[in-house]
Amino acid sequence: MSEQQTLEPLLEARDLAKHFPLKGRDRGRVVRAVDGVSLTLHAGETLGLVGESGCGKSTVGRALLRLIEPTSGQILLDGTDITGLPMAAFREHRRRLQIVFQDPFSSLNPRHRVEKILTAPFIVHNTVPRRQRRDKVVELLQRVGLGADHLRKFPHEFSGGQRQRIGIARALALNPSIIVCDEAVSALDVSVQAQIINLLSALQRELRVAFLFISHDLAVVEHISHRVAVMYLGQIVELAERRQIFADPRHPYTEALLAAVPVANPQRPRNRIRVVAGEVPSPINPPSGCRFHTRCPLADRQCQTQAPPLRQDTDGRFLACHKR
Amino acid sequence: MSAASHPAADAAPLLRVAGLTTELALPGGRVRAVDDISFAIAPGETLGVVGESGCGKSMMALSLLGIAPNPPAIVSAGTAHFDGVDLLALDPAGLRRLRGNRIAMIFQEPMTALNPLMPIGAQIVEVCRRHLGHSRAQAEAWAVELLERVRIPDASRRARDYPHQLSGGMRQRAMIAMALACDPVLLIADEPTTALDVTIQAQMLELISDLQEKAGMALLLITHDLGVIAEMADRVLVMYAGRKVEEAPVVELFNLPAHPYTDGLMASVPKLGASLSGTAGALTEIPGTVPAPHELPAGCAFAPRCARADERCRVERPILRDVLVGHETACWHPNQSDGTAASARTGTNV
Ligand SMILES: Nc1ncnc2c1ncn2[C@@H]1O[C@H](COP(=O)(O)OP(=O)(O)OP(=O)(O)O)[C@@H](O)[C@H]1O
Ligand SMILES: Nc1ncnc2c1ncn2[C@@H]1O[C@H](COP(=O)(O)OP(=O)(O)OP(=O)(O)O)[C@@H](O)[C@H]1O
Ligand code: SF4
Ligand SMILES: [Mg+2]
Ligand SMILES: [Mg+2]
C-alpha cells in the first residue's frame, strides 16, 4: 500500500491514551489500558491490530469512535480533530465511523425484526426518505449475501454467521468510510468464518471502506490486512506492512507472538523453542522502561529503565525496541 | 511424531470405544448428539478430535466419563473398554473411582473444575487423599510439587491462593496440576487452551507434551484449532453432525484428506505465512451451515453442503470404509490416495 502512504490518512490517532480509574480498594489508581498509541488508516485499507488479551485493542477501537472518551491525545478524521468536538457536531462524523462486534447477538435488539434493525440508522441520521427505506434495506441484505425473505425475522432466528452478516449490514447502512471490526469473526466456526472474511474483502473492494481489524488470531489478521500493528500493554511495539511483520518480525514481542502460534502443518518439526516465559503484567502497574522487558530474551539494563520510543526504521516500519 | 513412528502405536489400545451413541431427549423429540462413534487410543498416543461447534465433541467426552448432562442426554448404545473395563456399563461409584484418578479431564473453562471457595493447594490435597490415600503431609508436599511441575512460580505460597486470585493462565495450570495429581494414564482434554492467549497456549501445550513423553500418558484432545491438532496429534478423528466422517494419521489427514468436509475445513482456515508464499487468495468457503440435529438429512449429513453430493448421498448414509491402511472415511465419493475425487477419477456419471 505504499501508494497510499503518500496520501493524507483518512484517520489518524496521535498519542491516544485511555486510563480507567479504579474503584474501591484501589481508588486513586488507574488502568493504563491505552497509553500513547499513534496510528494512521488510509481509505480502502485494512490495518490489523493484534496482541494478547487485555493489551488494549478494544479500547483503541472504542476510543476512535468516541464510544469511550480518550483521556488524552487526538483523533483526526480527514484532518479534522474530532476529539474535542461537542457531540452534536461529532454526529456528522460519527456516521462515517462504524463498528462490528464479536457477538452480534448482544448488539442486535432481540425484540426487533431485521427490517427495523436496519432501518434505524436511516431514521436516526435521516439519510433516506421514508418511501425508499425498504428498498435500501433489501439492498443492504443483498450486499451481505442475505435475501429479502429475511426482513421479517428476529435475530434469534438466525445462525451466528447470519447474525454477523446483519451486524455488517447495519454498519454499512450509512456508507461509512471506516469500520472497526472488533473480533468480528472470532466466535464463528471456521467454515462460516471463511464466508465472513471473504465478504469483508469483497465489500472493501467494492466500497473502498477501510477496516481496523482487531483480532487475536494472527493467521486471520495476516490474511486480511495490508498493514499490521502489534500492541503490548497499551502501546504499539511494531507497526509495519504485512510482509514485514510476517516474513521478518523485528520486535522481540512480535517474534514471540508469531512463534507461539500453532501452525497447521504436522510435518513441521515439533518441540521448537518457541515459548516465551511468563504472562502479561498488569496494566495498573506496568513494568518500568520497556514494558516487555520482564519477558524479553534480549533485555538489558537500558531496557529496564528507559522506555524505547516508537521510531521509524530505515525500511519504513515503526518499532519500539532498544536492541533492534 | 507420526503414528507409524510412535512407539506405542502398535500396543494394545488403552481405550477402545465402539458404537458410542448418545441421544438427547428434547421437547421436539429424541435426537442423536453422538451417533455411532468408534475409535481406539494406545498408551502414550494422542488422538485429536475436530469438528464444528455443536457436532458432539464435548457430548462424546462427557458420555465416556458418565457425566453427560441427564436430562437430556442418554447413552443409548456402545461400549468403551478402558483397560478391560466397559466404562459405559460401570456403576457411578466405579466411574467416580476412575475419574480424576486413572482418567483425568480438563475443560476449556477452569472455573468449572475448580472450587471457588477453596485454595487450590487444598483442592489438590483433597484429590490425593481421596484417590491415593495420602496422609495430609504427603498430599501437601505432592500438591506443591505438582504446582511446580506446571510451573506456577512460588508454588508453596501460591497453593494457599483461591482460584480468583490467580490469572487465567495460572488457573488453567492449577487445573492441569489437579488433573495430573494421580498420574493418570489417560487425559481427556476438551478445548484446554481455547480461552488462552497464544503465548500461554504454547506453554500449556509444551507442558502437556512433556508430561506425555515422561509418563506415557494417552491424550484425547478435542479442539477446533487445526494448528493445535497439527502440533499435538498422532491421529485425528473428524466429526460432523454427531458422526465420525474421517479418521487418519495426522500427516495423512492434512496432506490427503479423503472426506469433502475435511477437505473444506482444511481449505477454509487461513494459514500463518500464507501471504508470503502468495497463496492468500480468497478462502475456500463451505457453503451453508451445519444442520440442526433434528433436521438431519436421511443420507449423508454433509450432502446439503457438498459439491459432490448425488442422489445416493441424499438417501443412503455412507458407511465408514478404508481409503488407506489406518485411514477411513464415511463418504460415497471420497478423494483417492492420489488426491483426486472418486467420481472424477472413475468418471462416474450420476
Ligand atoms: N471500562 C473499563 N474499566 C476498567 N478497566 C477496563 C475497562 N475496559 C477495559 N479495561 C481494562 O483495560 C485493559 C484493556 O482492555 P481491552 O478490552 O481494550 O483489551 P483487549 O486487547 O481488547 O483484550 P481482549 O483480547 O481480551 O478483547 C484491560 O486490562 C481491561 O481490563
Ligand atoms: N444440555 C443440553 N441440552 C440440550 N442440548 C444440548 C445440551 N448440551 C449439548 N446439546 C446439544 O448437543 C449437540 C452436541 O453438543 P456438544 O456440546 O457436544 O458440541 P461440541 O462439538 O462440543 O461443540 P463446541 O465446539 O461448540 O464445544 C449440540 O447440538 C448441542 O446443541
Ligand atoms: S457422501 Fe456424498 S454428500 Fe456426503 S460428503 Fe461424500 S460426496 Fe459429499
Ligand atoms: Mg477486546
Ligand atoms: Mg464442546
How many C-beta atoms surround the C-beta of residue A136 within 10 A? 16
Helix (H, G, I), strand (E, B) or coil at B319: coil
Residue nearest to ligand 1 atom 17, measured at CA: A58
**Residue B289 pLDDT:** 81
Mean pLDDT value across residues A138-150: 88
Residue nearest to ligand 3 atom 3, measured at CA: B303
Q: Please provide the DSSP assignment of A273-301 as one string.
A: S----S-PPPTTSPPSSSTTTTT-TT--H
Kindly give the number of the ligand 1 atom that is closest to the alpha carbon of A68.
1
Question: Is B271 within 8 Å of B225 (Cβ atoms)?
Answer: no
- Ligand 3 centroid to B315 CA: how many Å? 11
CA distance B86 to chain A (A): 33
**pTM metric for this prediction:** 0.90
Give the Cα separation of A309 and A315 in Å (integer): 17
DSSP state at residue B303: G
**Residue B346 pLDDT:** 37
CB contact under 8 A, B199 and A258: no
Return the C-alpha cell found at A204.
472493501
Mutational test site, ligand 3, from B262, B300, B336, max ligand atoms within 8 Å of CB: B300
Residues with CB under 6 A from ligand 2: B 24, 33, 51, 53-59, 69, 72, 224, 293
> Which residues keep their CB under 5 angstroms from ion ligand 4?
A 58
How many C-beta atoms surround the C-beta of residue A34 within 10 A? 32
More confident residue, B319 or A275: B319
Q: Which of A265, A267, A272, A292 has the highest number of chain B CBs within 10 A, making it the mutation to test binding with B?
A: A265
Asked whether residue A195 is assigned to any structural domain, the reply reads no
Mean pLDDT value across residues A154-183: 91
Amino acid at B89: A
Residue A312 has pLDDT above 90, yes or no: yes
Asked whether residue A32 is assigned to any structural domain, the reply reads yes
Kindly give the number of the ligand 3 atom that is closest to the alpha carbon of B332.
1
Residue A15 has pLDDT above 90, yes or no: yes
Q: Which residues in chain B are contacts of A197 at CB distance < 8 A? A: 270, 283
Q: Burial, A258: exposed, middle or buried (Cβ in 10 Å; 0-12, 13-18, 19+)?
A: buried
Sole residue written with cell 512433556: B210
The ranges of chain B with pLDDT < 50 are: 1-9, 343-350
Mean pLDDT of chain A: 91
What order do you get walking across the sheet with B29-41 strand by strand?
A: B29-41, B15-26, B73-82, B85-86
More confident residue, A251 or B3: A251
Q: Which residues in chain B are contacts of A267 at CB distance < 8 A? A: 251, 254
Residue nearest to ligand 3 atom 6, measured at CA: B331
Comparing CA positions, the residue from A276, A264, A295 lying closest to residue B206 is A276
CB contact under 8 A, A263 and B290: no
Comparing CA positions, the residue from B288, B303, B304 lying closest to residue B333 is B303
More confident residue, A308 or B202: A308
CB contact under 8 A, A257 and B280: no
User: Which among B229, B276, B284 is the nearest to A247, CB-wise?
Assistant: B276
**Residue B339 pLDDT:** 61
Domain count for chain A, please give it.
1
Residue nearest to ligand 1 atom 13, measured at CA: A33
The residues, ordered by sequence, that sit 6+ positions from B203 with a Cβ below 8 Å of its Cβ are A275, A277, B151, B169
User: How does strand A210-214 pair with strand B243-249?
Assistant: unpaired
Residue A112 has pLDDT above 50, yes or no: yes
User: How does strand B327-330 pair with strand B243-249?
Assistant: antiparallel
**Residue A271 pLDDT:** 57
Kindly give the number of the ligand 3 atom that is closest to the alpha carbon of B301.
4
For residue A40, the domain's CATH number is: 3.40.50.300
Asked whether residue A279 is assigned to any structural domain, the reply reads yes
**Ramachandran angles phi, psi of B4, nearest 5°:** -65, -40
Asked whether residue A194 is assigned to any structural domain, the reply reads no
Asked whether residue A36 is assigned to any structural domain, the reply reads yes
Band the pLDDT of A181: cuts 50, 70, 90: very high
Give the Cα separation of B226 and B298 in Å (integer): 29
pLDDT tens digits, one per residue of A39-51: 999 999 999 999 9
CA distance B248 to chain A (A): 13
Mean pLDDT value across residues A116-122: 93
Residue A87 has pLDDT above 60, yes or no: yes
User: Which among A53, A194, A262 is the nearest to B228, CB-wise?
Assistant: A262
Residue A154 has pLDDT above 50, yes or no: yes
Q: Please provide the DSSP assignment of A85-148 as one string.
A: --HHHHHHHHTTEEEE-S-HHHHS-TTS-HHHHHHHHHHHHT-S-GGGHHHHHHHHHHHTT--G
A256-261, Cβ contacts within 8 angstroms, sequence gap of 24 or more: A256/A295, A256/B199, A257/A50, A257/A51, A257/A52, A257/A218, A257/A230, A257/B198, A257/B199, A258/A218, A258/B272, A259/B202, A260/B198, A260/B199, A260/B201, A260/B202, A261/A218, A261/A219, A261/B198, A261/B227, A261/B272
Residue A9's domain comprises 4-96+176-186+206-261+269-319
Q: How close are the terminal C-alpha atoms of chain A, in Å?
A: 24
User: Which among B205, B264, B275 is the nearest to A242, CB-wise?
Assistant: B275
**Residue B10 pLDDT:** 57
Helix (H, G, I), strand (E, B) or coil at A303: helix
Asked whether residue A108 is assigned to any structural domain, the reply reads no
**Residue B111 pLDDT:** 66
CB contact under 8 A, B53 and A189: yes
Residues in chain A: 324
Mutational test site, ligand 2, from B21, B22, B23, B24, max ligand atoms within 8 Å of CB: B24
Give the Cα separation of B4 and B8 in Å (integer): 9
Asked whether residue A83 is assigned to any structural domain, the reply reads yes
Question: Is A251 within 8 Å of A303 (Cβ atoms)?
Answer: no
| Chain A to chain B Cβ contacts (< 8 Å) | 138
pLDDT tens digits, one per residue of B168-205: 778 888 888 999 899 999 999 998 887 778 888 888 88
The residues, ordered by sequence, that sit 6+ positions from B117 with a Cβ below 8 Å of its Cβ are B162
Comparing CA positions, the residue from A176, A183, A160, A24 lying closest to residue A95 is A176
Bridge partners (DSSP) listed for residue B236: B48, B248
Q: Which of residues 183-222 of B touch A (CB under 8 A)?
A: 197-203, 205-206, 209
Instruction: Say if ligand 3 is within 6 A of residue B308 CB.
Output: yes
Q: Which of A157, A188, A191 has the highest number of chain B CBs within 10 A, making it the mutation to test binding with B?
A: A191
Asked whether residue A296 is assigned to any structural domain, the reply reads yes
Amino acid at B49: V
**Residue A282 pLDDT:** 87
User: Which among B209, B254, B289 is the nearest to A264, CB-wise?
Assistant: B254
pLDDT tens digits, one per residue of B65-118: 999 999 999 999 999 999 989 999 999 999 999 998 999 999 876 667 789 999
